[in-house]
Structure 1
Amino acid sequence: MITRFAPSPTGLLHLGHAFSALTAWDMARAEGGVFLLRIEDIDGPRCRPEFEHAIDDDLHWLGLDWPVPVMRQSERLPAYGDALARLAEMGLTYPCSCTRADIRAALAAPQEGASGPDGPPYPGTCRGRAMASHRPGDAIRLDIARAVAVTGPVRFEESGPGRAGRQAYRPDEMVANIGDVVLARKDIATSYHLSVVVDDAAQGITQVVRGEDLFAATPLHVLLQRLLEMPTPRYHHHRLIRDETGKRLAKRDDARAIRAYREAGATVASLRAMLGL
């Protein structure tokens, strides 16, 4: 078993990160496997060296270790470009110049009520544009209908609470609920969806451990794996750690940062108990 924890160095790690990292670590250890760290640092100016140092420090304090050197997304843009080019060669991508305001206006119709991994499915305004018409500032989208015509139904194994078992999605469900997602942003030549699939394959991840908020993106990730002829790992989407009002934690909530608990005298054992581990 090979698991991974893949934070972005855009703030201090909080209790939710601790829960996810420890869950991935525990699952790997229980099977005599390997836990990997990956730094998702493609979000330009928001990523800062001090936050990456804090990630390393906090995870080691939790008792975790991992092989080095650590994979960094900022060093893997050529790999994402190769994957994007392969999908383009298959006729599955198109450029998109729509702004968020354009998309909101197009989705004003009552029938546009579904919500996919990136919000309401894209209405298809630019669908049909050839890749040759790509201009600087355009995003690149996946033509989901063409993609599922290639792969057929999408299936994967899930072990997370409340969803354990084999998951299956029909092509019509994928088209209706996911839509034509962005594979390369206007400001970055990739997206979370594309980079996470390429990186998981490159690292040989066999068990993806992440929060239940990403469950909706998993059918899309498995679809991309099949299109790119990459292996599909097993998935474990765990519960989210929330505050007393039920709101999920965010990096801006410094009071819940691992660093704050450490400075207040918490031990790893007390933190594990707090998280229900």
Structure 2
Amino acid sequence: MAATGIVTRFAPSPTGYLHLGHAYSALAGWRAARAAGGRFLLRIEDIDRTRCRPEFTEAILEDLAWLGLDWDGPVRIQSRHFAEYRATLGALEARGLLYPCFCTRAEIAAAGAPQGPEGPVYPGTCRHLGDAARAARIAAGAPYALRLDMAAALAAAPGPLSFAEQGRGRLACDPARFGDVVLARKDTPASYHLCVTHDDAFQGVTLVIRGEDLLAATDIHRLVQALMGWPEPAYAHHRLLTDPTGRRLAKRDGAQPLRALRAAGLSPAEVLAMV
């Protein structure tokens, strides 16, 4: 999709209702695009088919419209594009950068792996399996994930990796600290890391505005972009909104949804003023 000027996006997962933290992020992306005469895109990241619900997708559209945050072009629904993500996985696999991993989360934790930014770093157990052993396990129906061979990927990536962070200049990347990250699972045909980088490139996103909790993950995203020859967007990781106790607003912790504020009689202007 061709784009001129700044292109931002808001990309929630429909696992619950939007809350003030979502409104803050969406407003930041919307304002940046509108101020520059650019485009603001809406993407629904629903690759987790066990937790995502169509009713939450509908609620996202309704809440954004109520706030007056309009978007440009059609909404991209990730679950409709698994074939595109599989093609990217196939390209990485053809270069010898992926391998099947049969280990469970419990087995990885029991191995005493060091902690990385996303939990225990995978110790590379299945990286050393021979082709025959892998084929036998797959033929037997053993579930597996596809992991990125981090050492091979870094060797294949062109030059040292970094990214432009608004207000901070260029930041160096260290994706090795994540270990061999998962790019696909049996129950989720493509991971967040793969889908988000694919879609940002496909949609021509030039500025990624998102929460600071995803700052570290940018190292992985820059690696995938470099491996695939995708363009590098600029990034702006904003602070996270918190409740009166200092805990970040999150759906899983029961953060008050926007629709509850609407039901309580607040106007869109009053909600936007809160964020």
Give the TM-score normalised by the residue count of structure 1: 0.90
140-149 or 68-77: bigger deviation: 68-77
2:39 aligned with 1:28, yes or no?
Answer: no
Deviations 1:246-266 (A, max 9, x none): 111122455521111111122
1:131, CA displacement in angstroms? Answer: 6.8
The answer as to whether partners of 1:96 and 1:141 remain within 8 angstroms in 2 is: yes
The answer as to whether partners of 1:2 and 1:206 remain within 8 angstroms in 2 is: yes
2:161 aligned with 1:154, yes or no?
Answer: yes
1:130, CA displacement in angstroms? Answer: 5.6
Task: Give the number of equivalent residue pairs.
Answer: 263
The answer as to whether partners of 1:14 and 1:254 remain within 8 angstroms in 2 is: no
Letter in 1 for 2:74: P
Partner of 1:194: 194
2:169 aligned with 1:165, yes or no?
Answer: yes
Partner of 1:129: 129
The answer as to whether partners of 2:162 and 2:171 remain within 8 angstroms in 1 is: yes
RMSD: 1.6
Letter in 2 for 1:150: A
The answer as to whether partners of 1:254 and 1:260 remain within 8 angstroms in 2 is: no
Q: How does 1:1-277 map to 2 (within 5 A)?
A: 1-107=6-112, 112=114, 114-116=115-117, 118-129=118-129, 133=134, 135=138, 136=141, 137-151=143-157, 152-159=159-166, 164-169=168-173, 173-175=174-176, 177-254=177-254, 256-275=256-275
Deviations 1:152-176 (A, max 9, x none): 311110016xxx210113xxx432x
Deviations 1:26-84 (A, max 9, x none): 11111111100011112113222221111011001111111342111111101100100
The answer as to whether partners of 2:67 and 2:272 remain within 8 angstroms in 1 is: no
- Structure 2 gap segments, 5+ residues each: 1-5
Give the TM-score normalised by the residue count of structure 2: 0.91
Q: Give the 3 Å change call, closer, same or farther, for CA 262–98 of structure 1 in structure 2.
A: same
| Percent identical | 57
Q: Give the 3 Å change call, closer, same or farther, for CA 29–131 of structure 1 in structure 2.
A: farther
Return the alpha-carbon distance in structure 2 between the equivalents of residues 6 and 128 of structure 1.
36
- Structure 1 gap segments, 5+ residues each: none
Return the alpha-carbon distance in structure 1 between the equivalents of residues 63 and 253 of structure 2.
16
Return the alpha-carbon distance in structure 2 between the equivalents of residues 153 and 131 of structure 1.
31
Q: Give the 3 Å change call, closer, same or farther, for CA 81–131 of structure 1 in structure 2.
A: farther
1:219, CA displacement in angstroms? Answer: 0.8
249-258 or 45-54: bigger deviation: 249-258
The answer as to whether partners of 1:94 and 1:129 remain within 8 angstroms in 2 is: no
